[in-house]
Amino acid sequence: MSAAPAEHLPVMVGPVLRALDPAPDARIVDATLGLGGHAEALLRQLGPAGRVIGIDRDAEMLARATERLRPFGERFRGVQARLSYMSDVVRGQGLEQVDGILMDLGVCSAHLDQPERGFSFREDAAESPLDMRMDQSRGETAAEWLARADEDELTDALRAGDVPAPRRVARALRERQPLRTVGDLLAALGDVPLPRRRHHPATLVFQAVRMAVNEERHELETALEASIDLLAPRGRLAVLSYHSGEDRTTKAFLNREAKGCVCPPELPYCGCGRSPRMRIVVRGQRPDADEIDANPRARSARLRAGERL
């Protein structure tokens, strides 16, 4: 049985609403719906003609959010899909473009409060299977991925997750197979002295494995590229990230689209002919101290946003 869930507190709601700055009749995509906290705030701010399309790959989270947003009637539509399918979802709703897109990356807080999903290494999760899939109906579990991936693939995934000494950690994980439970993974990490930073040394490893299992980097990169064509002129993209790699990817995308030209700097003139397609409106905003005190899970959040030109 799951532990009692903590109160769901969507992160940086005020800054997100200001970043998206929707008109009353705006059409907004919440591309990572979770439990629907941001979608609810958006629907309350929008007028009677405003709509929110919510996307989530987790059937359970989608069902819970849809129930929460039922009072808004037809103004909300929920769809189970991966983030990378955002364009198909929007067009399936009869729209070619939208006025805003929100991506709240990473794991939903409800996942961490369900030890049986394998995302958390709390004491009550030790016997939980290493699943970590956001969509439990398909794909490899974390245990299956860890058993299949060779040392090089593990190292690449850990390095992408900013895990220190990724080769050494990968070797330890290969030597301790099979890793079937959260406790097994923690025991394997016990063989590797990891530096303690602001958080438990296993945090980055669990995060890196989860990101690999769910192909989160690919999902983000695909969705960012799709957002350009999906956004109407003056439409806005807002991205909340909780991992330095995701933040770097988002920052690089917005900087590239705001610059336009991709010619090498040594060229005396522009030969690519690319014009800027976005204007940056929020650069790496962090939650304030009051929010972090009220919701410690917000401490690593970074908000970036851009406006379609």
Q: What is the pLDDT of residue 196?
A: 65
Q: Give me the numbers of helices (H) and strands (E) for the chain, helices first please.
A: 13, 7
In 65-172, at which residue ranges do the beta strands (DSSP E only) sit? 76-80, 98-104
Give 215's Cβ-side CA count (13 Å radius): 13
User: Mean pLDDT by 10-residue block, N- to C-terminus, for the chain (309 residues)?
Assistant: 53 98 98 97 98 97 97 98 98 97 89 80 83 93 96 96 93 93 92 72 90 96 97 98 95 95 83 90 97 91 97
Structural domains in the chain, sorted by start:
13-109+216-308 (3.40.50.150), 135-213 (1.10.150.170)
Q: What is the pLDDT of residue 6?
A: 44
Q: Is the pTM of this model over 0.95?
A: no
Q: In angstroms, rounded to a whole number, what is the distance separating the alpha carbons of residues 189 and 21? A: 45
Helix (H, G, I), strand (E, B) or coil at 284: strand
* DSSP-derived secondary structure letter, 279: E
Q: Are 39 and 76 in contact (CB under 8 A)?
A: yes
